[in-house]
Chain A
Amino acid sequence: MTQSDHAYDVPADAPVFECDYCGRPFARERWLALHHGLDHPNELDDDEVTAFRKAHEDEEDSLGAFRLQALGALVAIYFVLLMIYALV
């Protein structure tokens, strides 16, 4: 997917990490690394490939933490409804 046809709205004093290949700005360096790997896989140098792998691993870790929270929320919804149905 080409990103070049997007419109951007970058706040004046915000940190910006801009993609060298398509110019898309990101708020975090890690997102830029992920973007490199996902949208420009054939154009990267070795450093960028390493950065992508690292960012991808970090992302897996934080997704794991998110999944636990989501599971907790699901269980909470289930039991709250179960209780209410038992009482009503």
Chain B
Amino acid sequence: MAVGSLCWLLAVGTASAHGGSLAAGGRESLTIPTWLFLSTGGAAVGASFLLASFVTDRSFVERVHAWGTPLVDGEARIPRVLGRAIGVAGLAAVVVVGFFGPTTPRTNLAILLVWVGWWAGLAMTTYLVGNSWRVLNPLSTIALALPSLDRTYPDRLGAWPSVVGLLALVWLEVVSPLADDARLLATAVVGYSVLTLAGSVVFGRETWFSEADPVDRVFRYYGRVAPVSRAEDGSLRLRLPGMTLSTPRLVDGADEVAFVVALLWVTTYDGLVTTPAWRALTTPLVSAGLPPHLLYPFALLAGFGLFLGVYRLAVRVSTRTAETYLAPDELAERFAPPLLAIAAGYHFAHYLGYFLFLAPALGTATLAPFADPAAVPVYQLPDWFGGVALAAVILGHLVAIWVAHAAAFDLFPSRLQAIRSQYPFVAVMVFYTMTSLWVVSRPEVPLPHL
């Protein structure tokens, strides 16, 4: 994994025992056997489902979810112009410094800005505060100035291009040295920009960014977990975190369900491929003659298929446990948004330590983009830090359980029916929590066979 390798590089460079990887910190703090640690996490999720099922007062659930305070008008001009300017300046910095800046990964602003500032830092603010990418997105700003051919976007494509795009981007992130080679990163950014701008010229800016662009969709979906969200009229509203996720029609159609599942899967895949178990599992395959360059995309697709299959199966079982005549697709759409809280929790667990560790380096590089200092400042994480990662994984699941509980109450007339509809989802979630905790608690090893 590209991000992991940068992290590993820095960890080695500073001879740190726990480096930037959450994994090492998490493992150090473990004094109980892994199976017990995993079962405890699973039990915590199961128990919180039982606790949530005690809350059967419909009006209370609705009050919690409807609570909100209007904030400022979201269409205010000055912050928007300022945000757009910052976004475009960021893109320009990545391209210019990427091509002409220092070649050491840990001093190059392009690499630090993309991986630390954007993919770790900005993504975290998206689900912790609100989706600012809507304004910051430099390509969307540039597209404003471009003409549009306004071809009709084929309806049956829907969100599928963004699903494919997300899987492709993650595959690229994992297998290519995008975090080591600034020139390559700048080339990739230029390539992606050209593709995106071409798409928005052909189909129109609004359509392209709302349907086909994977990055915009990732940030938009993460933004739904956030406390600050946009109301219909464009004004900003403060709600309890995650509560927007129970809104009907938030995810519409099998394509958008697939995107949510893909987002969940890629966060797992990202961590999974750097575990020692992955290395042990794939070494015989590679030595038996499987080309490593096929191994990674194959595993990416197979895992996505597995996740989607398990989710669809859980939906089928749910229609039976709830004895409902609602179409399975209906349930799949309604119970997909809670998964975003899990994805956000897992992203936080994976990237918070990485972000804090490298944030001083990003600051230094921002102030002097073309300097190439020998020593880079980093923030040494305290030993207890691994616990934060584990707590984030569990917390994501708890929010998801609560939101799904509220969505089920909204969907079914009988409250017992609503609780029963959640059985298969909770079973899958318990299993998934244990998998995530296991991945987060493994030491991070460099990507094998590449």
The residues of A with any CB-CB pair to B shorter than 8 Å are 1, 6-10, 14, 16, 24-28, 30-32, 34-35, 38-39, 59, 62-63, 66-67, 70, 73-74, 77-78, 81, 84-85, 88
Contact = CB atoms under 8 A, between A and B. Distances in A.
A66 B418 CA distance: 12
Interface stretch (B81-89, B281-289, B318-326, B398-406): B318-326
Contacts of B33: 88
B414 A31 contact: yes
Interface of B (DSSP majority class): helix
A contact patch SS: helix
B416 A8 contact: no
B47 A74 contact: yes
Interface in B240-260: 248
Contact of B325 (A10, A66, A74, A88): A10
A6 B248 CA distance: 11
B414 A9 contact: no
A9 B176 CA distance: 46
Contacts of B47: 74, 77-78
Interface string B283-307: 0000000000000000000000000
B54 A67 contact: yes
Interface string B21-63: 0000000000011001001100100110011011010100000
Contacts of A35: 413
Given A27-B325, A73-B50, A88-B32, A7 B413 contact: no
A1 B410 contact: yes
Given A8-B326, A25-B325, A30 B43 contact: no
B417 interface: yes
A31 B36 contact: no
- Nearest first, the 6 A-B pairs at minimum CB distance are A35-B413, A34-B413, A7-B327, A9-B327, A25-B325, A27-B323
Is the interface on chain B under 10, 10 to 19, 20 to 34, or 35 or more residues? 20 to 34
B442 to A, nearest CB: 20
A5 to B, nearest CB: 9
Given A16-B325, A31-B417, 4 more contacts: A7-B329, A27-B323, A32-B413, A63-B56
Nearest to A69: B50
A9 B322 CA distance: 13
A55 B40 CA distance: 38
Contact of A59 (B32, B324, B414): B414
B220 interface: no
Contacts of B248: 1
Contacts of A27: 323-325
Given A7-B327, A8-B325, A81-B40, A63 B415 contact: yes
Contacts of A30: 414
A66 B326 contact: no
